Amino acid sequence: MVTGLYKVVGVERFELPTYCSQSNRATRLRYTPFPMMESAEISRIRKTKATPFSNIPETVAIAVRLGMMGRTMTMNIQTVEELNKIIRNGDVREYIQQEEEAKGLEVAGIAGKIAEQNHRLKWIWLAGPSSAGKTTFTRRLAAELQAQGIPTHQISLDNYFVNRDLTPKNAKGEYDYEHIEAIDLPLLERHLDKLENGHTIEMPHFRFLHGRREFRGEIIRLEPDELALIEGIHGLNPRITSFVDPAHALKIYIGARTTLMLDNDTRISSTNHRMMRRMIRDHHFRGNPVEKTFTLWPAVRAGEDKWIFPFQPLADQEYNSALGYEISVLKPLVEPLIRSLPNHHPGHKKAQELLEFLGHFEPIDKSCVPPDSILQEFIESPR
């Protein structure tokens, strides 16, 4: 059993004001460092260039690779009822801290693996299904790499969408946003070729509200010591990854596999979990009413089965973004959206299923979520 992992890593001191709905008073969380192990010289993986990840004790490395950190710490929460109990008892903040630190260590571990191969790498491909947390994971990975002295450029494949009127259509005559040719493949190939050869490119930016791509004068060039982090749902598809030399590339798959059990015998659907993430994000950031999310979701799932999951085995590394406490945070945000779905909508039965499922969870106020959590990609207030 792996214990004392926090003693190896430590935690930087910081304060975060929070207000949790389970209490009528504001609280301040103070995260203080754990004692260091006598034999450990690792003060903070994300802040230390001199300590390669290969020097971390093997038990820690194994736990990181398997994504099992949440099961090895002081609070072993496996079922919804166990989660509800610590929420009611006021102990959920400790569990949130535990889960977040575990996820942070996983990101640091992946960054360490990249650092070990940095002499050969130029391209990092990141892919995963809808609402897996690809964007935030990419930002956190970039920060980890920067801390190890490896500068990066982040490139979102979403910005290479063709204008909406050029988007491929499915057999029903509806826009197929999941199709690989919804990406402007010729432009992407030209840009990657220019970056490969030391030239500059002007980055596109896709405006979802208007369904159009625009250029804002953002010029980038990939220096010899820099990595390109390229993320999007098609980031493992050979039609895209073949645009660069595979000898200089590494592929990462980001998923959201819920590890919490509804009870000792019933697993929680990761698909429903991601749908709720997407519902909130689409409403806040893309201007989509909940009806549109429910309408599009079957096509999104079909697109994942066709365009994403078949290429998951091609990944060199995997990361699971799901947090054990997360659904309790999503609950008070997504329930009003689900209830607003008209009764005559084809997704009404699915909506009732989701509401029944959410009824098993005690809520957690979103202010309890740390500001650097991957969950903020879906719950933060729109700017």
User: Is the pLDDT reported for residue 35 higher than 50?
Assistant: no
Confidence of residue 259 (pLDDT cuts 50, 70, 90): confident
Nearest to 161 by CA among 196, 210, 228, 216: 210
In this structure, what token pair is assigned to residue 165?
A: 């009127």
- pLDDT tens digits along 156-182: 999 999 999 999 998 889 899 999 999
More confident residue, 15 or 232: 232
Distance CA 378, CA 23 (A): 24
Nearest to 83 by CA among 268, 261, 269, 330: 261
More confident residue, 17 or 142: 142
> Are the C-beta atoms of residues 334 and 364 closer than 8 Å to each other?
no
Q: Can you name the CATH fold of 5-379? A: Rossmann fold (3.40.50)
Mean pLDDT of 283-294: 86
Mean pLDDT estimate for the chain: 82
User: Is the pLDDT reported for residue 42 higher than 50?
Assistant: no
Mean pLDDT of 46-69: 37
In this structure, what token pair is assigned to residue 149?
A: 């002295």
Distance CA 98, CA 300 (A): 32
Nearest to 128 by CA among 377, 329, 382: 377
For residue 116, report the phi and psi dihedrals to the nearest 5 degrees. -65, -30
Mean pLDDT of 61-78: 51
More confident residue, 55 or 321: 321
